[in-house]
Amino acid sequence: MSGNDLSHAAPRRVLLIVGGGIAAYKSLELVRLLRKADVAVTPVLTKAAERFVTSLSLSALAESEVRTELFSLADEAKMGHIELSRSADLVVVAPATADLMAKAANGLADDLASTVLLATDKPVFMAPAMNVRMWLHPATQRNLATLAVDGVRIVGPDEGSMACGEFGPGRMAEPPVIAQAIFEALKPAPRPLAGRHVLITAGPTAEPIDPVRVITNRSSGKQGYAIAGALAGLGARVTLVSGPTSLPPPPGVARVDVETALQMKAACDAALPADVAVCVAAVADWRPDHAFKLKLKKGPGAPPSVALVENPDILAGLSAKGPQRPRLVVGFAAETNDLEANARSKLERKGCDWIVANDVSGEGIMGGDQNEVLLVTREGTERWARAAKTGIAARLAERIAAALA
């Protein structure tokens, strides 16, 4: 498939947010190009954008209702902003004003457009358009960097004459350029892992002390779930063995819920054979040798002692040579010091093929939405810059697909 040929793809939908700026008139041509390629378009028009283009013009070209109000009684009775943010395959902001970029970068949601951007779980494209001084302002550049880390793709801006009479970067990219970027994004994703089975562990384990107390850790499961989703997106059949977490399973992923390390090991053994095992879960190294049947009560004297016994090593077990050893075994190492040395030591001890190590002493890593990792293999070491956990997941999924090719 090349160019804008989407004829063999499933029907595709774009949510187009039109920001307030003179470049808003270009959104009409963008809609025309998308509809010509049979891409469905749902427009969202900001209050400022209504000064430059009309709902009637957009609606006629898009053949769809134009949304403008966050507090629409008809829409919001059904949580319309959530439905809007999730129903499209792609969210496009064109023009993306400095104000809209700032709101998106800082998580503000005071109108329909910014609320949709905060609520969406779909890829976001932005085509910036603003005065050259606004574009070059440090605040805009900081927001641009934040959006890039969050996975927002920026199209443009171009350099040239502006309506304000100045010359420089800040002109919105031309509609054919934006449309081509959209067509490329809407092409069916390559599925290099089709027919492969991937086993992933994620989240914490919880080892019971008594009916109400457990030994656990701060793992949120976000990185493991992101990796499961990325691998499923490349066509793999994914079995996700998950410790306790509130995260929903990624689309197309079969989740097996467990609590303890023993349960996780049993679920992993049952899931074999697998082509790849990715052990992201923060498994407790020890568990109480027995769980008290009744809740322990605080009383006079010394607190009760809890004897610990070692849990099975799931990563080492999957890495052991044998007929069911996955072709590629990837472990994770959460460290607070000597990152590379500890990761390489773990690689040797466990017998796995790769270790993905991260320093969890940094603020916002454990339980947060971003990560910064070191990929340690027997061939060498790669440092991956801090990025959204979804971005780390996509990069690791691509490396796994390449290793199996």
User: What is the full DSSP assignment across 64-100?
Assistant: SPPB--TT-HHHHTTTHHHHHHHHSSEEEEEEE-HHH
Q: How confident is the model at residue 8 (pLDDT cuts 50, 70, 90)?
A: very low
Which candidate in 164, 268, 279, 352 is catalytic? 164
- Say whether 197-404 and 12-186 share the same fold: yes
pLDDT tens for each residue of 392-402: 999 999 999 99
**CA 249/CA 274 separation, integer angstroms:** 19
List, in order, residues 6 or more apart from 298 with CB less than 8 Å away.
none
pLDDT tens for each residue of 173-191: 999 999 999 998 888 767 8
What are the Cα distances from residue 67, in Å, to 58, 81, 270? Answer: 10, 10, 49
pLDDT exceeds 50 at position 73: no
Q: How confident is the model at residue 195 (pLDDT cuts 50, 70, 90)?
A: very high
Strand partners, 160: 168
**CA 141/CA 136 separation, integer angstroms:** 7
**CA 331/CA 316 separation, integer angstroms:** 9
pLDDT tens for each residue of 74-88: 554 444 556 777 778
Amino acid at 387: A
pTM over 0.75: no
DSSP labels, 41-54: EEEEE-TTGGGTS-
pLDDT exceeds 60 at position 383: yes
pLDDT exceeds 90 at position 10: no
Side-chain half-sphere CA neighbours of 62 within 13 A: 26
Residue 158: predicted pLDDT:
85
Query: Residues of the chain with pLDDT > 90: what percent?
Result: 65
DSSP designation for 296: -
CATH H-level superfamily of 197-404: CoaB-like (3.40.50.10300)
- In this prediction, residues 310-339 reach a mean pLDDT of 93
358 burial (CB, 10 Å; 0-12 / 13-18 / 19+) is buried
Evaluated on CA atoms 49, 52, 56, 62, the torsion sign reads: negative
DSSP labels, 220-278: -SHHHHHHHHHHHHTT-EEEEEE-S--PPPPTTEEEEE--SHHHHHHHHHHH---SEEE
Q: Are 352 and 315 in contact (CB under 8 A)?
A: yes
318-342 b/e (C-beta count within 10 Å ≥ 16 → b) = bbeeeeebbebbbbbbbbeeebeeb
- Mean per-residue pLDDT of the chain: 89
CATH no., domain 12-186? 3.40.50.1950
**CA 220/CA 282 separation, integer angstroms:** 9
Q: Are 127 and 92 in contact (CB under 8 A)?
A: yes
Q: In 250-351, which ranges are E strands?
A: 253-257, 276-279, 286-288, 308-310, 328-335
Instruction: Tell me, yes or no, if 164 is annotated catalytic.
Output: yes
List, in order, residues 6 or more apart from 134 with CB less than 8 Å away.
98, 140, 170
Domain boundaries, the chain: 12-186, 197-404
Q: Write down the residue that tokens 């075994």 correspond to.
A: 329
- In this prediction, residues 17-33 reach a mean pLDDT of 94
**CA 159/CA 173 separation, integer angstroms:** 9
Q: Which helix H or strand E contains 8, and what residues bound it?
A: none
